[in-house]
Amino acid sequence: MPLSLATIQTLLVKLHDGLLDKVEIARLPNDVISSLDARFPIHTVSIHIDKYILHKILMKGVSISDVANMQNYLDVGLTILEKNRPNSFILSVQNTNQTSRYKAAFKVAQHGHEIWVSSFHETRPRQTKALIARGYIIRKHK
């Protein structure tokens, strides 16, 4: 069962404060798993973030609540598999307030046993267009 948004926010604060080493923040939707599984085996559906990446994300001005909202973004966002990076995929999503666009990059560890957030930041519309040109669309926005 997925964790609630409030629980994920609490865990992210503990991660930020150094009380935890990693936090599960989301689970891959089934349609994304089936698309990725054709390229490389997926043995987990959990997506984790570590303290180092969280600090980098927060330094870019992204809030903990935006990071905690990753499950919602995965459920509705544009998912792209990059041509030149076979072990990673990109998520592009527009925030519900329609003013912010985000890009999240995920790396699938060897043999598909772990999936990690490697980047998460705000983008401009033309950056999304460039992402689409560099990759294959796994799933369109919902």
Tens of pLDDT along the chain (142 residues) come to: 577 889 999 999 999 999 999 999 988 887 787 777 666 666 667 889 999 999 999 999 899 988 999 988 888 999 998 888 878 889 998 876 667 788 999 988 877 778 899 999 988 877 888 888 888 888 888 7
Answer whether 24's CB lies under 8 Å from 14's CB.
no
Q: Which residues contact 32 (CB under 8 A, 6 or more apart)?
A: 74, 79, 89, 138, 139
CA distance 18 to 28: 26
Sheet holding 78-82, edge to edge: 22-27, 46-50, 115-123, 101-108, 88-94, 78-82, 135-139
Domain boundaries, the chain: 5-139
pTM of the entire predicted model: 0.86
CA distance 114 to 126: 31
Which of 23, 25, 5 shows the shortest CA–CA distance to 14? 23
Counting Cβ atoms within 10 Å, is residue 39 exposed (0-12), middle (13-18) or buried (19+)? middle
